[in-house]
Amino acid sequence: MVPLNYRHLYYFWAVAKAGSIAAARERLRLSQPTLSSQLKALERACKASFFDRGKKGMSLTARGRTVFDYCERIFAPGEELAALLRGGFSAPPILRVGIETRVPKEAVIHLLEFARGRDRHVRVNAANACLEELAAGLQRQTLDLAVSCEELPPLAAGHARKRLAARLPVGFVASPAVSRRVTRFPSQLSKVPMLFRTREHPIRKEVDRYLGKHGVIPLTEAELEDADVIRQLAVKGRGVAALNLLAAEPDLRAGRLVRLDGRSTGIEEPIWFACSGHASQNAAVAGLVDALMESFELRLAERTAR
């Protein structure tokens, strides 16, 4: 194990943020030779080079970028705490949101826009987590809101408010070239490559059930966790994809994708909200959580939803 010197790491983080030793030394109140030697000591201890030093200044190496990302998580909260203490605890209110990685990014964007529209003074801090981490965050009250594709497991202690915030309709879409090969839906899906979510994903299970019901034996082109990658592959003509229509809407509107099913498939991608039964001590945050739990909704354009 590399013995970490956190003071050296802090100096590295400050220099990386400032872009040069000269820019960072005044803030750190160190001479340029001293700061330079501290950085070299860190690199020697880690047996790695963290900066490319050239005529145009200093830039992070690939390893330096990795270390910087960790330093951000270590030192940035400390800077916020210092600012909070200096300001007499008058920092702006923060809505802490945990988001399951499978939640469509379009739904996250709508959530952020809703929050900003409701209260521009509340800052949103959103981070990805698995279902178990979301439940633990609510229980420990380190999260104000959890967003997931599945209903959260019951909390071991305390109570949580839960809400099925949205049901996003899922449709079968393909590029115009691929769509011309499917003249009868869904029976001819057996003759074209298909792009699937991984088998553990709840939507994949619904899609498999739908295809089995209609006697379709699919030709699997790829199985991917990331719906955005699936969408991009569908646009490139790699196969038919089953996507929630909120994610597919821009490409459908632009003609890059064509919807193959003429009416609803009955498949829906759920978005669940959950919050702790203990309201936030900040009234603005508590009010925003209540608004999200009661009023948030996702609407598709009428022509897309059909």
Residues 268-278: tens digit of each pLDDT = 999 999 998 77
Boundaries of CATH 3.40.190.10 in the chain? 94-166+271-298, 167-269
CATH of domain 6-86: 1.10.10.10
Q: Which of 98-102, 161-165, 167-171, 277-281 has the least mean pLDDT?
A: 277-281
* pTM over cut 0.85: no
Boundaries of CATH 1.10.10.10 in the chain? 6-86
pLDDT value, residue 157: 46
Placement of tokens 């981070």 in the chain: 127
d(CA 83, CA 94): 14
d(CA 31, CA 25): 6
pLDDT band for 90, please (50, 70, 90 cuts): low
> Is CATH 3.40.190.10 correct for 94-166+271-298?
yes
pLDDT value, residue 229: 94
The residues that bridge with 143 in the sheet, in sequence order, are none
Model pLDDT for residues 27-86, shown as the tens digit of each residue: 888 898 999 999 999 999 888 899 887 766 678 888 988 898 888 888 888 877 777 677
What's the whole-number mean pLDDT along residues 101-108? 90
Placement of tokens 């699919």 in the chain: 218
Q: Under CATH, domain 167-269 is a member of which superfamily? A: Periplasmic binding protein-like II (3.40.190.10)
Residue with the bigger pLDDT between 296 and 91: it is 296
199: left (phi over 0), alpha (psi -120 to 50) or beta: alpha
Placement of tokens 């897309």 in the chain: 304
Judge if the upstream peptide bond of residue 202 is cis by omega within 30 degrees of 0.
Answer: no
